[in-house]
Structure 1
Amino acid sequence: MSRPREEKYQAILDAATEAFAEYGFFNSQISKIAKLAGVADGTIYLYFKNKEDILISLFTERMGQFINEIRHEIEECQSAKERLLRIIKTHLRYMQENRSLAMFTQIELRQSNPTIREAISGPLREYFHIIELVLTEGVNKGELLLYDVKVGRQMFFGTLDAMVSDWVISKKPRSLEGMEEVVFDLMCGAFKIGEIN
């Protein structure tokens, strides 16, 4: 994709993020997205088949960026404990910095039809896989006490997910970034980090 074309594509995705967060997916007409992006309605169809295609592309692209950031953050870590803390910090910071994206992912995607849910499941499964690898490594090295890695991943992700959901719907939200240590302490207790041996 040429640079001007890529810039327009990103502008449409940014506009869609804002529209979906503000109006909801079903109430966001292509014309609203086009207006926010500063393009003609017809231009949208040069990049996307329909509104569902925008939603799928948006989630896949933004989650891809998020996952790349997670991978980068944990690659230099020496222990599972460090990796878990980095994942927590990156997850909460990324959502705090991208509130419209957080609103969109926490509220709108949960109401999507089964076809859309299936189309966006790949990046989410990739994130789950990263968490499971970190937990498995921690168990294998004796850093974590965990009897079921999948349940551990569900608990870990579920905690972060619930915090972001609460932050999105709160009328007076606390800073997510200020909650990193609280979540980490909770995970340390749950996974018995530092108590093994």
Structure 2
Amino acid sequence: MGTTRSTPPVTKLADARKAMYQQQIVAAAEYEFSRTGFADARVSDIAKTAGVSLATVYKYFGGKDEIWDALNAARMQEFVAAVRVRTDGIDSPLEAILVGAHAEVEFFAAHPHFLQLHINEGLSWASASAEAGRGGQRAAWRTGMEMITRAAELAVDAGQITHLSPRIAAALVISALQIWLTDWVSEGKTTPIEAVADAVVAHLRVSLSAGRA
């Protein structure tokens, strides 16, 4: 009867150290990207903010583009998870979209540097999944767009959205997020985020169900 070999403690420690440094570097990069924009962010500043040497950054990442991709991938995984937690179990497809939009506003508010770096890019979020955007950013926004489009397809099939295609409905959701969150930031984040989320939901409730009898 064979025996199962466990992972050596040294390997586990090395893996844990690698994950720790990667998370530390990505968090620092998120701050630097939000502060200066991707183009002007320097890897040396990312290393300084992370509290590691430049050699350590290059040990785990090939450069600024690779860090950018890792950041966007990680945040989008968290974004999707946050929406699913709030929408699982909701029977109404339209209501799931609206509850999801509320969660999405709260997610960005909870990650202000991630929000700011996307505002800095100056792109339409609804089209960043196409040719606009940079590297992993396009994949991240494509994931978000596809998730909301699938929800809109269910709402169309259920007769809850009757005047819009699923993709246009999804684009309206994403555009509303960008408009309200950008305004919230420009106004100094003085409005409670719950009120911002409620305003987005109220707008979408009218916009998405406008064609219903």
Q: Same-fold call, TM > 0.5? A: yes
| Aligned-partner Cα distance in 2 for 1:5–1:20 | 22
Kindly indicate whether residue 170 of structure 2 is the aligned counterpart of residue 157 of structure 1.
no
User: How do 1:33-72 residues align onto structure 2 when only pairs under 5 Å count?
Assistant: 33-72=46-85
Amino acid at match of 1:184: V
Amino acid of the residue matched to residue 140 of structure 1?
D
Matching residue within 11, 14, 31 for 2:27 = 14
Following the alignment from structure 1 to structure 2, what is the Cα–Cα distance between the partners of residues 159 and 74? Answer: 19
Q: Which runs of 5+ in 1 are unaligned?
A: none
Q: Once structures 1 and 2 are overlaid, which stretch shifts more, 114-123 or 151-160?
A: 114-123
Unaligned runs of at least 5 residues, structure 2: 1-13
Distance 2:71 2:108 in 1: 15
Report the CA distance shift for 1:190/1:57 in structure 2 as closer, same or farther (over 3 A). Answer: same
Tell me the SS of whatever aligns to 2:191.
Answer: coil
**Aligned-pair distance for 1:92?**
0.8
Cα offsets for 1:26-57 (capped at 9, x unmatched): 33211211111111111000111111111121
2:192 match: secondary structure: coil
Aligned-partner Cα distance in 2 for 1:91–1:109: 19
Q: Aligned to 1:61, what secondary structure does the other structure show?
A: helix
- Structure 1 vs Structure 2 CA RMSD: 2.5
TM-score by length of 1: 0.87
Is 2:188 the counterpart of 1:174? Answer: no
Identity value in percent: 21
Residue 3 (structure 1) aligned with residue 16 (structure 2)? yes
Structure 2 length normalisation: TM-score? 0.81
Question: Cα–Cα, structure 1 residues 115 and 157, in superposed 2: closer, same or farther, change >3 Å?
Answer: closer
1:117 aligns with 2:130: no
